Chain A
């Protein structure tokens, strides 16, 4: 005879280890916030707590010191829930390291980001090739929590650390002929396996660009760190652009050249498929990508039974700040 003894604890009641650990993680985070509020320095960059086995990128000493001295710019930060560090550093579009979302985290770990030089050229009073340290050192770094909207219709909320691009550009004295800024990513097929792919229709090196008023806009950030530490290589270390009201691909990574020019730069995705990716690429729910809708986005991380779909906002929710830059322009033509 089979006697079935009822289990005293149903398996559905047992908290899985992951959830258990996450809960501890969550509580540590709460404690951190409480301590922060008590200390009264509401705008300091918090010490984020991570799960033990996640890699943290310290960067060179000078950068670590700058980051420690930085503060959060509350006025320029959203209070939306942050996308966890783990996802920010393991779900990336950085085709130089592979086209899969997990490829950059896998392939960029040996990427050499220090020492790093940046060439400033074109319509500036002080062109030259500079050490990253020398061009960052004069500025105070700040943390800004921005929404990041990918053209593929997913989004994240990321705490970046950096400086306004405009502040950095002014240091090199742009001339009156500087109408656009062109950025170039490192071209190094030895280090970047994606640049060795024979089946890519993107031309290397990756080039992006902004109009000068976009570049000078206070929201436009040159980022050197994320989540209270240096930028992980897969996120575009050591220097990347963050333009929160444009689709993510405008925010070029691992920059080695900044050129000011009087002509609209020829940008990589636009060159490859001009009808799909415009020069401006402002986030716009009313202008669809020819192959998919831009009306909504999935906020990551999403769980399986809650797709986490949210409405996409014009200029990714930064319309109050930036819409005037495009006054009088037909945004369906200048997409």
Chain B
């Protein structure tokens, strides 16, 4: 029925807009609060921290999409995996640019010094650097062009997520509650990959034995 199909299209469009707009909410709030001077004594730190947190949140969410599909048979988020991954990259870029602009004021000498003396910055920068090619090759055209290698390349997201963990663990002052939470979630997310990998291996092995 045409009407049914039409309402479906509308729902799909609504869904797309929702998923597109939701990740922008933290940035919008941050910008608004910066505008009305509501970020406290150190707005620079606040912006750097918040954009970093959302880069991680969105990366973890992106990593959750495959397990959602394979374990819980929830398929619809798959349509938004690329968008959410790109949002994570977007927040990571804003995170780095905010650090360079608001904290360092683009003083290159200072940037170099900070890179040497705050090694967790190097680790974070490396994670971002590795995320960039994934963003560039995220289009369908690139996906087709790279074929099998596309999947291989995008497995980079696993080492990236581990670098991100190092980046935040290295900054622990005394309380590690937040890092523990991110760590447990990541263990679950990566654990499912290991599980599926082993499952596939045994299947292949059994098949080989049967033959």
Chain A interface residues (CB < 8 Å from chain B): 16, 18, 83, 87, 90-91, 95, 99, 101-102, 154, 156, 197-202, 269, 272, 288, 291-293, 295-296, 298, 300-307, 309
- In this complex, how many residues of chain B approach chain A with their Cβ under 8 Å: the count is 31
Instruction: Give, as a whole number of angstroms, the nearest-CB distance from B166 to chain A.
Output: 13
Contact residues in A for B175 (Cβ distance below 8 Å): 95, 99, 197, 199-202
Of B47, B113, B114, B175, most buried by chain A (CB within 10 Å of CB) is B175
Within 8 A of A (CB), among B80-103: 101-103
In the bound assembly, the distance between CA atoms of A99 and B179 in angstroms comes to 13
Contact residues in A for B40 (Cβ distance below 8 Å): 87, 90-91, 101-102, 301
> Which stretch in B6-14, B115-123, B186-194 binds the other chain?
B115-123
Asked whether B101 lies within 8 Å of A199 as measured between CB atoms, the reply is: no
In the bound assembly, the distance between CA atoms of A200 and B178 in angstroms comes to 11
Please give me the residue from chain A that is nearest to B37 by CB atom: A18
Q: Which of A90, A198, A301, A304 contacts B102 (CB 8 A)?
A: A304
Q: Which of A16, A95, A309 contacts B174 (CB 8 A)?
A: A95
Asked whether B117 lies within 8 Å of A91 as measured between CB atoms, the reply is: no
In the bound assembly, the distance between CA atoms of A300 and B44 in angstroms comes to 10
- What are 25 A-B interface contacts by the 8 Å CB criterion? A18-B36, A90-B40, A99-B173, A101-B42, A154-B42, A199-B175, A199-B176, A199-B177, A200-B175, A201-B172, A291-B170, A292-B114, A293-B113, A296-B110, A298-B44, A300-B41, A301-B40, A301-B41, A301-B43, A302-B43, A302-B44, A304-B43, A304-B44, A307-B103, A309-B105
Within 8 A of A (CB), among B139-191: 170-177, 180
B34 within 8 A of partner (CB) = yes
Contact residues in A for B119 (Cβ distance below 8 Å): 291
Contact residues in B for A306 (Cβ distance below 8 Å): 105
Asked whether A201 lies within 8 Å of B176 as measured between CB atoms, the reply is: yes
Within 8 A of A (CB), among B31-85: 34, 36-37, 40-45, 47
Contact residues in A for B117 (Cβ distance below 8 Å): 288, 291-293
B104 within 8 A of partner (CB) = yes
In the bound assembly, the distance between CA atoms of A240 and B48 in angstroms comes to 31
Please give me the residue from chain A that is nearest to B35 by CB atom: A16
Asked whether A90 lies within 8 Å of B41 as measured between CB atoms, the reply is: yes
Asked whether B103 lies within 8 Å of A99 as measured between CB atoms, the reply is: no
Please give me the residue from chain A that is nearest to B46 by CB atom: A101
In the bound assembly, the distance between CA atoms of A302 and B39 in angstroms comes to 11
- Tell me whether A305 and B36 are in contact in the complex, defined as CB-CB below 8 angstroms, given that A199-B180, A288-B117, A300-B42 are known contacts: no
Contact residues in B for A292 (Cβ distance below 8 Å): 114, 117-118
In the bound assembly, the distance between CA atoms of A282 and B142 in angstroms comes to 56
Please give me the residue from chain A that is nearest to B36 by CB atom: A18
Contact residues in A for B173 (Cβ distance below 8 Å): 99
Contact residues in A for B34 (Cβ distance below 8 Å): 304
Q: A-facing mask of B99-138, CB < 8 A → 1, else 0? A: 0011111000010011001111000000000000000000
